[in-house]
A and B are shown apart, each in its own frame.
Chain A
Amino acid sequence: MTLKTATTPAHESDPEPGRNKPKRHRAAQVQETRVDRIFMVGVYILLTTFLLIVLVPLINILASSFSSPAAVSGGRVLLWPVDFTLIGYEAVLSNQAILTGFGNSLFYAGVGTAVSVALTVMIAYPLSRSDLVGRRFLIGGVLFTMLFSGGLIPTYMVVRSLGLLDTRWALILPTAIGAWQVLIAMTFFRSTIPGELHEAAQLDGASDLRFLWSVVLPLSKPLLAVIALMYGIAQWNSYFNALIYLRSEELYPLQLVLRNILIVNNTAGTNIADQLAAEQMADLMKFALIVVSTVPVLLVYPFVARHFNKGVMLGSVKG
């Protein structure tokens, strides 16, 4: 190690200022040894490769969705649209099954999220209160569901015996509360709502419900945003419960419609007489469909990215 220090050319300059001072990277650069500089080049190459691996497929899909059916079917699109056109999107947006699915998914995501957030707060707030009798037992009961699940068939039997099969509730109720979200909410309440606040409210004669509604919830907006996004995106992206619980096509969420069109290759809805043109159109439609169905999630993404980080962190703090 001493040898390396000796050969470091940059030691005539001042030592690097504290880690959090501005212009730090310039100072760091001055101090770089040759080995370090080669290492950094490696880091940038690695990260750029990573970036491209993630980005190229996404750009390819986007470019294909704006290309002509013939170019897509011929596999001629790479990163830029070939024979730019919007007919792929026109076909998608005039397909009744897709529109119904889109509407259904909005419903499931909207209502499902509202139900989930309400129920999560209803269990997480009492459990965050240390004066609750039976608190440890109830928390144990919630956490155990993370380790051991009832399983597919036994859960299906419960849903069936409740008469929920083939109803909208089958997609909302069985997954209404996530143990992970309860944990996040509990940790949040415990760490951000000071006990003194509750004592003060009690002195003023506020009941527990009143305190929750007028003090805790207004203070918990970041938490509510995080868990609402988690539930909303999970609901928007799921297809499995719809696959096992729903029979009627008019109840299908978008993801199940997508699965039937994109993966099972059930290309109903293309009324073009010419066989080849129909096939090419079906190919193009898939790309446009992928873009259309991902847009709602990507619209909230910048917001999500910021808050999800916090959510991950909230959950990782052990309670």
Chain B
Amino acid sequence: MRPHGARLDRGGAVSAAVQTPSAAAFRERRRRTRRRNLRRHWQLYLLLILPVAYFVVFHYIPMANNVIAFKEYNIVDGIWGSPWAGFANFERFFANPVAWDLIRNTLVLSVYGFLAGFPVPVILALALNEVRLRFFKRTVQMVTYAPHFISTVIVVSMIILIFSPRIGFMADLLGFFGMSGNLLGDPDSFRHVYVWSDVWQTAGYSAIIYMAALAGIDPSLYEAARLDGASRLRKIWHVDLPGIAPTVVVVMILSVGNIMAIGFEKAFLLQNPLNLSTSEIIPTYTYKIGLLNADFSLAAAVGLFNSVINLVLLLAVNTVSKRVTGNGLW
């Protein structure tokens, strides 16, 4: 209670003397409050030590380590002792004809994934929202939600088994429609397999957030729509969609911001020598040159290029969205 009383006293004194205390006195008082705060809450700062150390060691030091992208790294001299290379590593990457294939593969895969994966959860949520049979609704939700918890390794093995020409039932189904047997050995099919298996795995989970937004819509809007004689489709168009628009925008920004941050895990597992021409993307390439060929500087340069583009995209989309729709991440 002491600080409260003190503040009141001082406030009274200030208003009695002059309305505006001098800036220096103000700063001095602030510093004193801060110091007292530090002393009183030392336990909070004690708690922070380990987590802050974690963020410094495993996030901020790696960010600083990116400096090796501009160096000619060798183990003997270490990160900071190795000679500077300027942009040589980046030039080396772009001089390689593979670079443009990698960038194209990465972009195509993520843009396709975004275009295919974005609308499906919205449609799923809107459809579920119309259903009044609780049991049916619950079942669809539970089942479509489940694949989210299956690991990438398992999902990829399921794909391989189900589409295997010898064992899998999907290969028979595709054969019935006159499509080729071995989908995974085919560079043209890789993208479809990658993207649609992702939709299969994540649509149910992604729909949850839209379901919650739909549940938050003011019921009087539905009442009004009904009195106006709106059909279900019109109700969706005029009430549901505007109601979830802010959520849609936020999710969209996040996914566009992640367009270059496509995961390493699944592409790497789906890769085989036959489909490499479309399945080699920047993260898998970074892994191969960095950890398998031990060319740290080149790999760091490629990785940094990817992260920076990603950050710029995220900031750009957020700015545009804020200006156009008034919704943004911050």
Q: A: which residues have CB within 8 A of B? A: 1-2, 4-5, 8, 15-16, 18-20, 24-25, 28, 31, 33, 35-36, 39-40, 43-44, 46-47, 50-51, 53-55, 57-58, 60-61, 64, 72-73, 75, 77-78, 119-120, 122-123, 125-126, 129, 131-133, 138, 141-142, 145, 147-158, 162, 173-174, 176-177, 203, 207-209, 212, 233, 236-240, 244, 255, 258-259, 262-263, 283, 286-287, 290, 293-294, 297-298, 301, 304-305, 308-309, 312-313, 316
Do the beta carbons of B156 and A316 come within 8 Å of each other? no
Chain A residues, Cβ within 8 Å of B185: none
Q: With CB as the reference atom, state the residue of chain A lying closest to B151.
A: A237
Chain A residues, Cβ within 8 Å of B133: 25
Do the beta carbons of B58 and A313 come within 8 Å of each other? no
Chain A residues, Cβ within 8 Å of B94: none
Give the complex CA separation of A24 and B223 in angstroms: 13
Task: Assess whether B189 is interfacial by the CB under 8 Å rule.
Answer: no
A51-B143 contact, Cβ under 8 Å, with A75-B168, A78-B169, A258-B157: yes
Q: With CB as the reference atom, state the residue of chain A lying closest to B120.
A: A50
Task: Assess whether B277 is interfacial by the CB under 8 Å rule.
Answer: no
Task: Assess whether B51 is interfacial by the CB under 8 Å rule.
Answer: yes
Do the beta carbons of B161 and A2 come within 8 Å of each other? no
Do the beta carbons of A122 and B47 come within 8 Å of each other? yes
Give the complex CA separation of A141 and B63 in angstroms: 12
Do the beta carbons of A255 and B153 come within 8 Å of each other? yes
Q: With CB as the reference atom, state the residue of chain A lying closest to B56.
A: A141
Which of A58, A283, A313 is B212 in contact with, Cβ under 8 Å? A313
A35-B231 contact, Cβ under 8 Å, with A18-B219, A44-B131, A133-B38: yes
Task: Assess whether B316 is interfacial by the CB under 8 Å rule.
Answer: no
Task: Assess whether B291 is interfacial by the CB under 8 Å rule.
Answer: yes
Could you write out 18 A-B pairs with CB less than 8 Å apart? Answer: A25-B132, A50-B124, A51-B140, A51-B143, A75-B168, A122-B51, A123-B52, A126-B47, A152-B286, A153-B68, A154-B65, A156-B291, A158-B58, A208-B44, A239-B152, A244-B291, A255-B151, A294-B154
Do the beta carbons of B153 and A73 come within 8 Å of each other? no
Task: Assess whether B243 is interfacial by the CB under 8 Å rule.
Answer: no
Do the beta carbons of A259 and B269 come within 8 Å of each other? yes
Which of B58, B162, B170, B300 is A174 in contact with, Cβ under 8 Å? B58
Give the complex CA separation of A1 and B143 in angstroms: 38
Do the beta carbons of A290 and B51 come within 8 Å of each other? no
Within 8 A of A (CB), among B117-140: 123-124, 127-128, 130-133, 136, 139-140
Chain A residues, Cβ within 8 Å of B59: 145, 149-150
Chain B residues, Cβ within 8 Å of A155: 58, 62, 65
Q: Which 6 A-B pairs have the closest CB atoms?
A: A150-B62, A154-B65, A123-B51, A25-B132, A237-B151, A5-B229
Which of A18, A44, A263 is B156 in contact with, Cβ under 8 Å? A263
List 9 additional A-B contacts (Cβ < 8 Å) besides A119-B54, A152-B283, A316-B247: A64-B161, A147-B257, A157-B65, A207-B43, A209-B46, A244-B287, A263-B160, A287-B161, A297-B151
A78 to chain B, nearest CB (A): 6
Do the beta carbons of B290 and A153 come within 8 Å of each other? yes
Task: Assess whether B150 is interfacial by the CB under 8 Å rule.
Answer: yes
Do the beta carbons of B304 and A151 come within 8 Å of each other? yes
Give the complex CA separation of A15 and B222 in angstroms: 13
Which of A28, A31, A258, A309 is B208 in contact with, Cβ under 8 Å? A309
Give the complex CA separation of A18 and B222 in angstroms: 10
By secondary structure, the B interface counts as helix
Do the beta carbons of B162 and A176 come within 8 Å of each other? no
Do the beta carbons of A297 and B131 come within 8 Å of each other? no
Q: With CB as the reference atom, state the residue of chain A lying closest to B123.
A: A46
B residues contacting the other copy or chain, number (CB 8 A): 101
Do the beta carbons of A129 and B44 come within 8 Å of each other? yes
A36-B229 contact, Cβ under 8 Å, with A47-B128, A75-B167, A122-B51: no
Which of A152, A263, A301 is B290 in contact with, Cβ under 8 Å? A152
Which of A1, A46, A259 is B229 in contact with, Cβ under 8 Å? A1
A4-B169 contact, Cβ under 8 Å, with A28-B132, A50-B144, A262-B160: no
Give the complex CA separation of A122 and B50 in angstroms: 8
A126-B44 contact, Cβ under 8 Å, with A35-B231, A50-B124, A177-B51: yes
A139 to chain B, nearest CB (A): 11
Do the beta carbons of B37 and A131 come within 8 Å of each other? yes
Task: Assess whether B274 is interfacial by the CB under 8 Å rule.
Answer: no
Do the beta carbons of B149 and A233 come within 8 Å of each other? yes
A213 to chain B, nearest CB (A): 11
A51 to chain B, nearest CB (A): 5
Give the complex CA separation of A229 and B37 in angstroms: 35
Which of A18, A153, A158, A287 is B286 in contact with, Cβ under 8 Å? A153
Chain B residues, Cβ within 8 Å of A51: 139-140, 143-144
B73 to chain A, nearest CB (A): 9
Do the beta carbons of B158 and A283 come within 8 Å of each other? no
Q: With CB as the reference atom, state the residue of chain B lying closest to A35.
A: B231
Q: With CB as the reference atom, state the residue of chain A lying closest to B222.
A: A19
